C-alpha cells in the first residue's frame, strides 16, 4: 500500500509561505543538544521547500513545559544547530503565535527559514484548541506535517491547524508511514518481531498484532518479567506488572494456540542476567530458570542455601541471558524481515569497560544478528523511542534499513491504529 496523502511533491509550493511541523523534541544537557538525529531527518523536507523558494516557518515542541514559558525548554539551541546543518542562518521567534510570531514571519524573505518558539509554552497546543490552530494557520498558506513522532496525538499543531489551511505531508512523514505500513502489511517472510520495553500494558495492541501476522515473536526487557510471573517463575524484586498477569496468560494462550495450528514461535527468555542493584559495579550472575545457574560472573558471593535456577528475593532480572540472546539471534538467521521495538535489558547503565553496559549484552547480541554479524542480514526496521536512542548512542543508525523517529507513533501505526496527524491531511484524490 503506497502513501495515500498528498505530499510536498504533489502541491504547487513555489514562492509560498509554508508552516512546517517538525519534531525537534531532542535531548538537551545544560542547553546543549546531545543527539540531533531528529533534526537531521527533517533536512530533506526543508531543503525541498527551499528549492521551491518557499518561506519556511517551522514549529515544534520540546519537553514538557506544562503550558507555560520555561527557558529550560526553549527551542533556541535547535535554531542554532539547524542553521549549522543547513549552512544558512535560521531566524528564531520568541513566540509561536500572536504579534511576535506574525512580525517575524512578515520579515521573512523567500528562501529563508524561521523557527518558532516551543508550541507547548501554550496550554492550547495539547488541548487541540481550534483558535490556537487558527492562529498557527494564519502564519502561512500551506501546512506541511513532517513530525512523525507527534502524529499519534491530536494536538493543535497536528490536527486543528489543518482545518484552516491545506495540510500535506513532508518527505519524512511519507517515508515513515510507507515503510512501517508496508513492512506490516506485506513483509518478506519469515517475519520476526522482537518486542521489549517495560510494560505489557503499553504494548498490548502491538503484541497481539504481531502474534497475528509474524512467524516468530520474541519478548524481552522488563515486560518479559510479567510473562515469567504468568508462567510461575520467580522473578525476585524485578520490575513487573502483577495486575497484568491475567493479560499475559491470555497472550501466551493465544500464541500457543497459533503455534499448534501453524509454524509459529512465541519465545520468552529462558535465562537472564540478575543483580541486586542497577549499579554498574554490581555483582551479576546468569540464571537459567529452566534448569540451573549456568555461570558465575565477577566473584558473585557463594550462598550454599541458594536454589539453583532461581532468582533470589533480593535480585533483579536486568537483561536476557546468553542462551536467550543466542536463540533469538538464531531465529533471525532464518528471517527475511525483522521488526525491533524495545531493548532486551537496562541499556542505560553505563559500562565499566568498553561500549557495552553490564545489562546491555542481550540487546547487543540482537543488534549483531540484525546487522548480519552471524552470516545473514534481514531487512531491518527499528521502532522509535528508547530503541532508536540506543541505536543512535551506538552510532549504528545507518546500519539498519529504517530507524524510526517516532516511538509512540510507530507503535500505534504497527498496531493498525489511525494517526490523527496523518488523517488530518489532504488525500491524494
Q: Residues 67, 111, 236, 408: which is the catalytic one?
A: 408
Concerning whether 272 is annotated as a catalytic residue, the answer is no
Do 164 and 134 contact (CB within 8 A), yes or no? yes
- Our answer to whether residue 375 is catalytic in this structure is no
Residue 199 falls in the annotated catalytic set: yes
What is the residue-wise DSSP string for 160-173? GGGGTS-EEE-HHH
Of the candidates 174, 265, 166, the one whose C-alpha atom is nearest the C-alpha of residue 211 is 265
State the Cα–Cα distance between residues 267 and 228, nearest whole angstrom: 11
User: In 3-state terms, what secondary structure has residue 55?
Assistant: strand
Q: How far apart are CA 95 and CA 35, in angstroms?
A: 24
CB 254 within 8 A of CB 244: no
Q: In terms of Cα–Cα distance, which of 29, 139, 118 is closest to 67? A: 118
Query: Do 145 and 151 form a contact (C-beta atoms < 8 A)?
Result: yes
Q: For residue 32, what is the enclosing H or E element?
A: strand 32-33
Spell out where 170-321 has E strands.
Answer: 191-195, 216-219, 265-267, 271-275, 284-288, 293-296, 316-320
How far apart CA 370 and CA 395 sit, in angstroms, is 15
Report residue 177: phi and psi, to 5°: -65, -45
Q: Which residues, in sequence order, are CB contacts of 19 under 8 Å at separation 6+?
A: 57, 58, 59, 136, 137, 139, 140, 142, 143, 144, 161, 165
Cα of first residue to Cα of last residue in the chain, in angstroms, is 15
Determine the Cα–Cα distance for residues 351 and 337; give it in Å rounded to an integer: 31
Task: Determine which one of 16, 134, 163, 199 is catalytic.
Answer: 199
385, 406, 407, 421: which is the annotated catalytic residue? Answer: 385
Residues annotated as catalytic are 38, 199, 385, 408
Amino acid at each position: 500500500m503506497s502513501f495515500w496523502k498528498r505530499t510536498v511533491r504533489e502541491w504547487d509550493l513555489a514562492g509560498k509561505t509554508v508552516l512546517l511541523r517538525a519534531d525537534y523534541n531532542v535531548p538537551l544537557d545544560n542547553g546543549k543538544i546531545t543527539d540531533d538525529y531528529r533534526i537531521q531527518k527533517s533536512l530533506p523536507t526543508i531543503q525541498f521547500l527551499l528549492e521551491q523558494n518557499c518561506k519556511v516557518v517551522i514549529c515544534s515542541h520540546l519537553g514538557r513545559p506544562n503550558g507555560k514559558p520555561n527557558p529550560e525548554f526553549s527551542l533556541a539551541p535547535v535554531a542554532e544547530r539547524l542553521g549549522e546543518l543547513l549552512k544558512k542562518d535560521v531566524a528564531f521567534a520568541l513566540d509561536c503565535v500572536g504579534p511576535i510570531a506574525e512580525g517575524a514571519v512578515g520579515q521573512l524573505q523567500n528562501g529563508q527559514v524561521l523557527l518558532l518558539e516551543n508550541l507547548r509554552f501554550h496550554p492550547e497546543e495539547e488541548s487541540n484548541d481550534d483558535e490556537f490552530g487558527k492562529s498557527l494557520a494564519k502564519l502561512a498558506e500551506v501546512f506541511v506535517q513532517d513530525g512523525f513522532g507527534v502524529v499519534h496525538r491530536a494536538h493543535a499543531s497536528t490536527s486543528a491547524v489543518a482545518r484552516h489551511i491545506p495540510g500535506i505531508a513532508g518527505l519524512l512523514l511519507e517515508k515513515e508511514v510507507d515503510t512501517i505500513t508496508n513492512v506490516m502489511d506485506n513483509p518478506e517472510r519469515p517475519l520476526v518481531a522482537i518486542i521489549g520495553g517495560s510494560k505489557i500494558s503499553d504494548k498490548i495492541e502491538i503484541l497481539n498484532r504481531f502474534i497475528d501476522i509474524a512467524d516468530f515473536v520474541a519478548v524481552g526487557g522488563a515486560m518479559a518479567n510479567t510473562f515469567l510471573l504468568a508462567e510461575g517463575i520467580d522473578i525476585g524484586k524485578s520490575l513487573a506488572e502483577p495486575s497484568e498477569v491475567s493479560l499475559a496468560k491470555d497472550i501466551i494462550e493465544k500464541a500457543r494456540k497459533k503455534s499448534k495450528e501453524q509454524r509459529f514461535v512465541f519465545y520468552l527468555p529462558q535465562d537472564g542476567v540478575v543483580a541486586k542493584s542497577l549499579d554498574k559495579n554490581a555483582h551479576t550472575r546468569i540464571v537459567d530458570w529452566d534448569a540451573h545457574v549456568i555461570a558465575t560472573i565477577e566473584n558473585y558471593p557463594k550462598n550454599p542455601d541458594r536454589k539453583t535456577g532461581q532468582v533470589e528475593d533480593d535480585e533483579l532480572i536486568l537483561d536476557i541471558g546468553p542462551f536467550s540472546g543466542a536463540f533469538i539471534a538464531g531465529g533471525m538467521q532464518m528471517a527475511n524481515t525483522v521488526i525491533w521495538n524495545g531493548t532486551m535489558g537496562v541499556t542505560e547503565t553505563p559500562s565499566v569497560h568498553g561500549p557495552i553496559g553490564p545489562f546491555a549484552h542481550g540487546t547487543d547480541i540482537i543488534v549483531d544478528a540484525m546487522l548480519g554479524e552471524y552470516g545473514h542480514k534481514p531487512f531491518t526496521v527499528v521502532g522509535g523511542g528508547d530503541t532508536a536512542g540506543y541505536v543512535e548512542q551506538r552510532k549504528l543508525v545507518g546500519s539498519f534499513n529504517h530507524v524510526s523517529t517516532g516511538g509512540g507513533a510507530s507503535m500505534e501505526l504497527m498496531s493498525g491504529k489511525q494517526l490523527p496527524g496523518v488523517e488530518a491531511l489532504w488525500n491524494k484524490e
